[in-house]
């Protein structure tokens, strides 16, 4: 298929706004940021490896309640030419190691409220994994702590920084597809990681919409530009019943959100896929055409042929860009990151809203979860 590239000049013409210049090319690091990692399991180790590739960073501490995991993380830091102290108690680490500027938190979802608030209260910059927390009340406590904190607070909705999705979103927000009407998403794959038991306990992970589906819902709500008004949903456990033993999370659900402006999101998430059927789709339909977010391409309504959007830093991962943005925000004092406390609050509340709609088998409204948010 012929896929013309849309240039920056034509993007400006279409959208009326120029994409922000690349973060990575914007400046050399003005000073080294000293980082501690709290939670060096699956995700923390991955983020650590990514962080170690970014210029201007020194990882000075690693902490995990399982000492062996923290020690392995320290070994990765050594291999990259650095040196990190090993801790098993992050509060003691914050008390005693005074050279830490910023913390990356990658602990299980049920710990986020206490860990985040403790880190924010001592004035460190914090990159905290999603979801914000598991209840609306806990989410709001974290947002209040972030508002009062000295440090920058950024949340692990890294897909906002994915070069392709980010370019696609700028195009949408610039009016490239006209009025946004509907977002359609699927996240179909194999089951959750069996080696990490807390994912399978709903009281610890919030279930698969709050823990996993949340990323795509965050993107769609960002595209639409407001929170949903109502959630209609249905889901359950139909294949992996009591697998692993004691499982309390679903293996599938389908969800519709209605928005105050009349837009809709429909989203299907399941773990039933045999090999070859796995996939993620994130499509945004508008009055003038539709955008495929991960492909950074759009299809006008009136003309044949998919048009690729210009993508800056196309060779960089979403995680790299999100962590690099965190460092830039620290250096520049930007207290409004793209994935800040408020966007994370909205994403988490809508995931809680959808989860309630499934479990309570009824339509759930935004007001029920949002309180004064
Ligand atoms: N943004 C993403 O795409 C993405 C992807 C995967 C996971 N995550 C998130 O990352 C977080 C961690 O997930 P994971 O898959 O790495 O789980 P994991 O269980 O592999 O790792 C969590 C680690 O935190 C440690 N831990 C628990 N309490 C602690 C505490 N008080 N202090 C220090 N360490 C503590 C555990 O021992 C474990 O090693 C979760 O919030 C998850 O939702 C995000």
Domain boundary among 158, 192, 226: 158
Task: Provide the pLDDT confidence category of residue 21 given band limits of 50, 70 and 90.
Answer: very low
**Whole-angstrom Cα distance, residue 107 to residue 88?**
13
The H-or-E segment that residue 359 falls in is helix 341-360
**Ligand 1 closest atom vs CA 63:** 33
3-state helix, strand, coil in the chain (%, to 5): 40, 20, 40
In the chain, the number of structural domains is: 2
Ligand 1 centroid to Cα of residue 105, in Å, is 8
pLDDT, residue 372, reads 62
Ligand 1 centroid to Cα of residue 130, in Å, is 10
pLDDT(123) > 50: yes
Ligand 1 centroid to Cα of residue 104, in Å, is 11
E runs forming strands in the chain: 33-38, 57-63, 85-87, 102-105, 125-128, 153-155, 180-188, 230-236, 252-258, 264-270, 279-286, 289-292, 297-300, 307-308, 364-365
Q: Is residue 9 part of a domain?
A: no
The 10s digit of each residue's pLDDT in 199-226 is: 999 999 999 999 999 999 999 999 999 9
Check whether residue 129 and residue 164 sit in a common domain: no
Check whether residue 353 and residue 272 sit in a common domain: yes
Q: Report the nearest-CA residue for atom 9 of ligand 1.
A: 129
Q: Is residue 259 part of a domain?
A: yes
Higher pLDDT, residue 247 or 9: 247
Check whether residue 244 and residue 263 sit in a common domain: yes
Is-above-0.75 flag for pTM? yes
In sequence order, the 6+-apart residues with CB closer than 8 A to the CB of 328 are 23, 26, 334
CB atoms within 10 A of CB 323: 25
CB atoms within 10 A of CB 78: 11
Q: Is residue 352 part of a domain?
A: yes
pLDDT(25) > 70: no
CB atoms within 10 A of CB 192: 20
Ligand 1 binding pocket mutation candidate from 69, 70, 106, 218 (most atoms within 8 A of CB): 106
Which residues form ligand 1's pocket by a CB distance below 6 Å? 38-44, 63-66, 69, 90, 106-109, 111, 115, 129-130, 156, 158, 196, 211
Q: Report the nearest-CA residue for atom 25 of ligand 1.
A: 39
In sequence order, the 6+-apart residues with CB closer than 8 A to the CB of 303 are none
Q: What is the average pLDDT across 85-111?
A: 98
Looking at every residue in the chain, the average pLDDT score rounds to 92
Q: Is residue 248 part of a domain?
A: yes
Check whether residue 170 and residue 154 sit in a common domain: no
Domain interval for residue 68: 20-158
Domain boundary among 115, 142, 158: 158
The 10s digit of each residue's pLDDT in 232-244 is: 999 999 999 999 9
Task: Provide the pLDDT confidence category of residue 278 given band limits of 50, 70 and 90.
Answer: confident
CB atoms within 10 A of CB 194: 11
pLDDT, residue 220, reads 98
**Whole-angstrom Cα distance, residue 255 to residue 270?**
11
Specify the DSSP class assigned to residue 211.
I
**Whole-angstrom Cα distance, residue 280 to residue 318?**
15
pLDDT(4) > 70: no
Domain boundary among 114, 139, 158: 158
Degrees to nearest 5, angle at CA 203 with 37 and 271: 85
Bridge-based pairing of strands 252-258 and 297-300 is unpaired
Which residue in this structure is represented by tokens 């299980």? 108
CATH number at residue 231: 3.30.360.10
Q: Using a pLDDT cut of 70, give the percent of the chain over it.
A: 92
Ligand 1 centroid to Cα of residue 209, in Å, is 17
CATH number at residue 90: 3.40.50.720
């Amino acid at each position: 298929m012929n896929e013309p590239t849309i240039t920056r000049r034509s993007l400006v013409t279409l959208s009326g706004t120029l994409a922000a210049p690349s973060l990575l090319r914007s400046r050399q690091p003005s000073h080294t940021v000293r980082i501690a990692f709290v939670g060096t399991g699956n995700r923390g180790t991955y983020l650590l490896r990514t962080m170690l590739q970014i210029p201007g960073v020194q990882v000075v501490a690693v902490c995990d309640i399982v000492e062996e995991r923290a020690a392995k993380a320290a070994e990765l830091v050594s291999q990259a030419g650095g040196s990190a102290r090993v801790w098993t108690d992050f509060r003691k680490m914050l008390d005693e190691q005074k050279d830490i500027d910023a913390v990356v938190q990658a602990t299980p979802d049920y710990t986020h409220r206490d860990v985040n608030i403790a880190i924010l209260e001592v004035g460190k910059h914090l990159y905290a994994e999603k979801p914000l927390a598991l209840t609306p009340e806990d989410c709001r406590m974290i947002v209040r702590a972030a508002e009062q904190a000295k440090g920058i607070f950024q949340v692990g909705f890294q897909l906002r920084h994915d070069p392709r999705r980010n370019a696609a979103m700028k195009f949408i927000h610039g009016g490239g597809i006209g009025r946004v009407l509907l977002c359609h998403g699927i996240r179909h794959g194999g089951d959750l990681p069996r080696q990490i038991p807390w994912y399978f306990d709903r009281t610890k992970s919030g279930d698969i919409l709050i823990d996993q589906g949340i990323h795509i819902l965050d993107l769609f709500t960002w595209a639409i530009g407001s929170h949903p008004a109502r959630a209609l949903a249905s889901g359950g456990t139909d294949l992996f019943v009591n697998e692993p033993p004691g499982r309390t999370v679903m293996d599938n659900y389908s969800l519709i959100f209605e928005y105050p402006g009349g837009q809709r999101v429909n989203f299907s998430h399941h773990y039933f896929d045999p090999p070859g059927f796995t996939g993620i789709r994130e499509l945004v339909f508008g009055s003038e055409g539709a955008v495929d977010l991960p492909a950074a391409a759009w299809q006008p309504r009136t003309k044949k042929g998919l048009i690729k959007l210009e993508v800056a830093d196309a060779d960089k991962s979403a995680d790299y860009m999100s962590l690099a943005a965190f460092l830039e925000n620290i250096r520049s004092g930007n207290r409004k990151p793209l994935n800040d406390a408020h966007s994370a609050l909205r994403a988490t509340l809508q995931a809680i809203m959808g989860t309630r709609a499934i479990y309570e088998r009824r339509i759930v409204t935004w007001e029920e979860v949002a309180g004064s948010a």
